């Protein structure tokens, strides 16, 4: 691959993450519903200030929890569960295996991988990522015309 290709891929990655955020929000925001763990994980992953705690690494969609205790602490604060720890948090992550939202990258410590297409389909069955006109319209509205 050329250097330019990597740039385009990085750009697509950014667009896709923004799309994911947009896609799951309507489901989680209507007041009453509690935030879900994978929403929270994506949230941390988006913020540069948490790169020392959790970050994208390796294959596409793969991320590493660099500081398990800190991630658990932050999750505990969000859910008002002061006794949260990585053991419990990781059990919740393991429940995502069957739902095909996440899977484990075997052999790599604290490393998991998102099944991004599944994540979008769970919330918006009609939407099929890049092939969807919704996605293109969304890009136009939120990214391309942005700057």
Residues forming the site for DNA (CB under 7 A): 34, 36-38, 75, 79, 81, 83-84, 86-92, 94-95, 97, 99, 104, 106, 108-111
Q: In this complex, which beta carbon is closest to DNA, that of residue 62 or of residue 142? A: 62
- Closest approach of DNA to the CB of residue 38, in Å: 6
- Closest approach of DNA to the CB of residue 104, in Å: 3
Q: In this complex, which beta carbon is closest to DNA, that of residue 27 or of residue 128? A: 27
Can you read off the two tokens belonging to residue 122? 């769970």
What CA–CA distance (Å, rounded) separates 53 from 43?
12
Residue 113, beta-bridge partner list? 62, 103
- Closest approach of DNA to the CB of residue 26, in Å: 15
């Amino acid at each position: 691959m050329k250097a330019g290709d990597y740039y385009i891929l990085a750009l697509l990655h950014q667009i896709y993450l923004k799309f994911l955020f947009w896609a799951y929000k309507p489901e989680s925001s209507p007041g009453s519903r509690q935030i879900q763990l994978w929403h929270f994980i994506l949230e941390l992953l988006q913020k540069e200030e948490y790169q020392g705690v959790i970050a994208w690494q390796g294959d596409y969609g793969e991320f590493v929890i660099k500081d398990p205790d800190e991630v658990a602490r932050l999750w505990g604060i969000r859910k008002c569960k002061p006794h949260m720890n990585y053991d419990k948090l990781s059990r919740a992550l393991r429940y995502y295996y069957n739902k095909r939202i996440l899977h484990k990258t075997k052999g790599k410590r604290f490393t998991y991988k998102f099944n991004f297409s599944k994540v979008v389909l769970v919330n918006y069955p009609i939407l099929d990522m890049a092939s969807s006109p919704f996605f293109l319209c969304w890009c136009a509205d939120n990214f391309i015309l942005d700057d």
